[in-house]
Amino acid sequence: MAWKIEYAESTQKDIRKLDPAERRRIREFLEGKVATLEDPRGIGKALSGNFSGLWRYRVGDYRIIVSIEDERLCVLVLRVGHRKSVYRQ
């Protein structure tokens, strides 16, 4: 089962701010690892509090906040950023 990776409009701005090497690492992680999984929750971590219902992936010092939509087989990327600032609103 292949999952589709989609990016929210607001996420594209976050991604453009990243170093090209980090951008590539994150893209390869999402498209090469997460998209090919049977269940993308297996390597992620469920979030709580204000981010309840969302999932987090860790790529080095960066965090990827996603919403997993089972009915569409879609992983929607909501935020990408450094671990010190990605959870701030």
pLDDT bracket for residue 1 (50, 70, 90): low
Domains belonging to the chain, first-starting first, are 4-82 (3.30.2310.20)
For residues 22 and 46, give the distance between their C-alpha atoms in angstroms, rounded to a whole number. Answer: 23
Residue 85 identity (one-letter amino acid): S
Instruction: Give the list of residues 6+ apart from residue 30 with CB closer than 8 angstroms, or none.
Output: 5, 57, 64, 75, 77
pTM: 0.93
Residue 11 identity (one-letter amino acid): T
78 vs 2 pLDDT, higher one? 78
- 14-56 tens-digit pLDDT: 899 999 999 999 999 999 999 999 999 999 999 999 999 999 9
- 2-18 tens-digit pLDDT: 899 999 998 988 899 99
